Chain A
């Protein structure tokens, strides 16, 4: 998939109507974004900038008010998604939940079992696999969330704050997973507030602000203009 784009968003607007008087709120005001195949792409921006909304519209969880979303893959069955602050069925064990997800993709019983065990190993949850999700810690839920995003071996992976809530070991492991995905030719887009992780993992970034992409380019380009990514980020969002 290298070369062609894995996700192209153009002129994306999203308005919602809230409250009793149906007041219109413009969440996205013309987002333009292109993620090249096999890239690890960082979607940055202050709280409320519209990162999560952009990803949800890209997945079809929300409908665009106007503008277009083009997936560079044949459909959502080739996409993986980790929601922000994931929460899953608390009456299922980690293993049952991943089995359920695999089943949604139509995997047969045998393939399902193999895939689930491999994923449990990959995110370090073998020991807690039989425990109900209700008893999982925040970081454990985040790990299950990453595992379910990868259950279909997706070409394009969208991760909404994958490092949040993880301990240092977990963060290193997730970074390894993201790098591993890139090595296997996959494309990753992730939201993050942890700029050091972004620096480490991403080739390209986009910085959102008030429903638009305020800046996008490579990490190196950003570092040409400022000493650190942090300084560049501050300058872009306060400009």
Chain B
């Protein structure tokens, strides 16, 4: 446990002190401000547009940051040979993976909280009022990204960092759609395709189920019980995927 905390703190320092991260975040904030201009050309709907656009910007930039950091986390330690220091000390491979993930979670929390609060204040300043739902929506983006970070770390133990980033983004996209795929194949009533889509459904995290963006901008009402259940599912998914990553990583030699 001590080791997990130590590695998590170290990973947090490593990622938060990264200049590339700062650049991406500043860029994201500029995009959110850009939404202001978009809002101003869509008459009457200014607040809605800003929220819509802002949440998409938060999601996309959050995704980019999460995937690229997660993909390189393990590789960096191997390439720079800092694994020698870690694994010659009483540090287990599973503790290493867990520590890396927790540290990244902390960094992503800072990044998303920063972007979320910025968006909230901007909406508030421009529209005169802002709903807390906006912040809840950002929180649910964070939950989705947790699953993507875990899956990207898993891929990075199998292959290169670039491959892991690409696959991480693919899983994100698929996770937005996996709900629909199942619904569609059910309509088709073909046993084989339905079985296949069930496999996809289990392997790919169902991210759309915790997406509350539509609720946040007032388009639809939300079933909170369902969102909570799916959040629990995603957290379990994270644990399983990280355990698999640790299993793969245990076989590695340095």
- Identify B85's interface contact among A16, A85, A101, CB under 8 A: A101
Contact with B along A78-112 (1 / 0, CB 8 A): 01010101111101100010001101111000000
Distance from A181 Cβ to chain B, minimum over Cβ atoms (Å): 17
Chain A's interface size range is: 20 to 34
User: Which residues in A have their C-beta under 8 angstroms from that of B87?
Assistant: 59-61
Distance from A147 Cβ to chain B, minimum over Cβ atoms (Å): 12
Stretch among B6-14, B47-55, B189-197, B222-230 lining the A interface:
B6-14
User: Which residues in B have their C-beta under 8 angstroms from that of A106?
Assistant: 2-3
User: Which residues in A have their C-beta under 8 angstroms from that of B254?
Assistant: 56, 61-62
Distance from A16 Cβ to chain B, minimum over Cβ atoms (Å): 8
User: Which residues in B have their C-beta under 8 angstroms from that of A79?
Assistant: 88
- The reply to whether B6 and A103 contact each other, CB–CB distance below 8 Å, is yes
- The reply to whether B88 and A91 contact each other, CB–CB distance below 8 Å, is no
CA distance A85 to B80 in the complex (A): 11
Distance from A158 Cβ to chain B, minimum over Cβ atoms (Å): 8
A77 proximal to B (CB < 8 A): yes
Of B10, B80, B82, B89, most buried by chain A (CB within 10 Å of CB) is B89
A38 proximal to B (CB < 8 A): no
Q: A92-B10, A100-B10, A103-B2 are in contact. Are A87 and B82 (CB under 8 A)?
A: yes
CA distance A63 to B10 in the complex (A): 27
- The reply to whether A104 and B89 contact each other, CB–CB distance below 8 Å, is yes
- Identify A81's interface contact among B14, B81, B88, B91, CB under 8 A: B88
For the residues of A in contact with B, the DSSP-based class is: loop
User: Which residues in B have their C-beta under 8 angstroms from that of A192?
Assistant: none
Distance from A161 Cβ to chain B, minimum over Cβ atoms (Å): 13
- The reply to whether A77 and B253 contact each other, CB–CB distance below 8 Å, is no
Distance from A119 Cβ to chain B, minimum over Cβ atoms (Å): 14
- The reply to whether B88 and A88 contact each other, CB–CB distance below 8 Å, is no
- The reply to whether B82 and A88 contact each other, CB–CB distance below 8 Å, is yes
A75 proximal to B (CB < 8 A): yes
- The reply to whether A89 and B82 contact each other, CB–CB distance below 8 Å, is yes
A187 proximal to B (CB < 8 A): no
- The reply to whether A59 and B85 contact each other, CB–CB distance below 8 Å, is no
B17 proximal to A (CB < 8 A): yes
Q: A76-B89, A92-B13, A103-B6 are in contact. Are A87 and B80 (CB under 8 A)?
A: yes
Q: A62-B253, A62-B254 are in contact. Are A89 and B10 (CB under 8 A)?
A: yes
- The reply to whether A104 and B3 contact each other, CB–CB distance below 8 Å, is yes
- Identify B90's interface contact among A83, A87, A88, A105, CB under 8 A: A105
Considering the complex, which residues of chain B in the window 1-41 have a beta carbon less than 8 Å from any beta carbon of chain A?
2-3, 5-7, 9-10, 13-14, 17-18
What is A's interface to B at a CB cutoff of 8 Å?
16, 56, 59-63, 75-77, 79, 81, 83, 85-89, 91-92, 96, 100-101, 103-106, 148, 152
